[in-house]
Amino acid sequence: MTGQTQLPPLREVIAAHGLSASKALGQNFLFDEQLLARIAAIPGTLKDRPVLEVGPGPGGLTRALLRAGARVTAIEMDRRCLPALAELAEAFPGQLTVIEGDALKLDHAALFAEPWAIVANLPYNVGTALFTGWLSGEAWPPAWSSLTLMFQLEVANRIVAEPGTDAYGRLAVLAQWRSKPKLAMKVHRSAFTPPPKVMSAIVHVEPAEAPAGVSARMLERVTEAAFGQRRKMLRQSLKGLPGALDALATLGIDPARRAETLSVDEFVAVARELTA
Ligand SMILES: C[S@@+](CC[C@H](N)C(=O)[O-])C[C@H]1O[C@@H](n2cnc3c(N)ncnc32)[C@H](O)[C@@H]1O
């Protein structure tokens, strides 16, 4: 029974393989197996489901996903971690495939034949770059079924932010216009080894229906212009975008408003007006 597979404590795995955390690779490891099991439960039942884990490191979250019955494909760029991950693959026969490489450079879709859940505890810059990549593009629904990702709490707050707040910006619109992001769990800095300077949180995103007649690229252009000068009125920030001021007039949106006051639906409506 996979759920009962006995494994050595993670601290022993780290010591046995000499895995000192590398600052350059943004390594902050999680060792609390109860916490890891709770994170692995966020996407819902994973029994026999394909999961992409990015940055497994010594394999703490990986073992929680494997115990939940997932079929895990893990991408790790630190080859020092590979022997520890190979031991995990042996303990869960047929459930774990490890790919050595940079997740930012790999074609994830080529790794799966059916929709896959994505779960990751990543360094901040890599996580945000992958997140925006997974959420962009014209094709929707995406080939993945959900995203469950650790972020700095401040970034997580920006993803789920509501209009009118300081945290509300491009990331909120990108994350909310055709998916449902939720702040699933806050994680205290002391849960990590070594502890990072700031608090973290897990965001869970499920794709929703995309509004009709809106190009993703156009929405990106509108939000880029509007939030590029977020303190300015829309009549100023959008004036370089052809047709944008006419779109505001058609929609009855006051051009004296600022970007942070527009709802996600209003951004979508502006982008729809501009989508040929
Ligand atoms: C914050 S640690 C988390 C490790 C483990 N998942 C855990 O929760 O304890 C991030 C991991 O991502 C790996 N990593 C960093 N950048 C990466 C990239 N571009 N592609 C794949 N893995 C990466 C690091 O080597 C490290 O093992």
Same domain? 110 vs 44: yes
CATH code for position 32: 3.40.50.150
CATH code for position 233: 1.10.8.100
CA of 102 to the centre of ligand 1 (A): 10
Same domain? 171 vs 129: yes
Give me the pLDDT at residue 4, please. 60
Where in the sequence is the domain holding 36, given as residue range(s)?
4-207
What single string gives the DSSP state of each residue in the chain? Answer: -GGG-----HHHHHHHHT-PPPTTTT--EE--HHHHHHHHHTT---TT-EEEEE--TTSHHHHHHHHTT-EEEEEES-GGGHHHHHHHHHHSTTTEEEEES-TTTS-GGGG-SS-EEEEEE--HHHHHHHHHHHH-SS-SS-SEEEEEEEEEHHHHHHHSPPTTSTT-SHHHHHHHSSEEEEEEEEE-GGGEESPPSS-EEEEEEEE-PPPTT--HHHHHHHHHHHHHTTTSBHHHHTTTSTTHHHHHHHHT--TTSBGGGS-HHHHHHHHHHH--
Same domain? 125 vs 35: yes
CA of 28 to the centre of ligand 1 (A): 8
Give me the pLDDT at residue 1, please. 45
Give me the pLDDT at residue 125, please. 85
Q: Tell me the pLDDT tens digit for each residue of 178-213.
A: 999 999 999 999 999 999 999 999 999 999 999 999
Give me the pLDDT at residue 96, please. 98
pLDDT above 60 for 272: yes
The reply, when asked if residue 149 is annotated as ligand binding, is no
Average pLDDT, the chain: 95
Give me the pLDDT at residue 53, please. 98
- Final residue of a domain: which of 207, 225, 251? 207
- Final residue of a domain: which of 172, 207, 242? 207
Same domain? 8 vs 106: yes
Give me the pLDDT at residue 29, please. 95
Give me the pLDDT at residue 18, please. 92
Q: For the chain, what is the domain count? A: 2
Q: Tell me the pLDDT tens digit for each residue of 121-133.
A: 998 889 999 999 9
The percent of residues above 90 in pLDDT, for the chain, comes to: 94
Q: Tell me the pLDDT tens digit for each residue of 72-104.
A: 999 999 999 999 999 999 999 999 999 999 999
Same domain? 181 vs 259: no
Q: Please report the atom of ligand 1 found closest to the CA of residue 105.
A: 19
Q: Please report the atom of ligand 1 found closest to the CA of residue 53.
A: 6
The reply, when asked if residue 245 is annotated as ligand binding, is no
Q: Tell me the pLDDT tens digit for each residue of 218-237.
A: 999 999 999 999 899 999 99
- Final residue of a domain: which of 154, 174, 207? 207
Same domain? 74 vs 182: yes
